[in-house]
Amino acid sequence: MSPQRRSRSAAPCLLAALLLVSSAALCCRAEDLLASGARRGLRQAAQRVAAAAAGSPAIPTACINTGLDLQSSCTAELEIGSKALGLDPTADVSQIKVDIATLRNYLSKAPPPSAGCCSAAKAFNDAYCSCSPAVLDLVKSFTNNNIDQYREVARYLATRCKEVGTPFTAYIDNTCPKNKP
């Protein structure tokens, strides 16, 4: 499948990201999400992301592995965040528009992610995956060429994971070490 034709329903995973990462319940219940098939949709999206990443030798292996672990470890947060933002986890992401102000507002009210999600986020971060041009290109392919949402979620994770005992400095943009891809 060509990068332009790749299914785009994985974006909620990357936003959490890996984003819509990140998110926990405002007033939504996990049982509602499970009943709606969100878990199945996110699992399928993760498989598509894995296939896309595996097909790109430029993406560091550590980022493929820690990215998949991040998606898996943050599934509950992704489901709840997607639901709270009104995202259909099976929809074509090119049809989904999440205003950055709406995302910021949601993340400002969302509880901290789980310890498992934070541990996976730290591993992904500490592998300098958000410093990798290949990873960022993959993110762009799922976010309509805009990584602002990804940045917001990365900041959310770095900030809120401290609350669950997993502090880390987000390596993204100008905080990336010069010798790390």
Instruction: Give the tens place of pLDDT for each residue, 65-101.
Output: 999 999 899 999 988 888 888 887 677 765 667 789 9
Entry pTM: 0.70
Q: Are 21 and 153 in contact (CB under 8 A)?
A: yes
Give Cα separations from 142 to 69, 80, 113, 177 (angstroms).
18, 20, 23, 25
* 118-133 average pLDDT score: 96
| Number of helices and strands in the chain (H, E) | 9, 0
What per-residue confidence (pLDDT) applies to 51? Answer: 52
Helix (H) or strand (E) holding 102: helix 100-109
What per-residue confidence (pLDDT) applies to 115? Answer: 97
What per-residue confidence (pLDDT) applies to 10? Answer: 35
Q: Are 13 and 42 in contact (CB under 8 A)?
A: yes
What per-residue confidence (pLDDT) applies to 138? Answer: 87
What per-residue confidence (pLDDT) applies to 93? Answer: 61
pLDDT band at 15 (very low <50, low <70, confident <90, very high): very low
Q: Are 113 and 160 in contact (CB under 8 A)?
A: yes
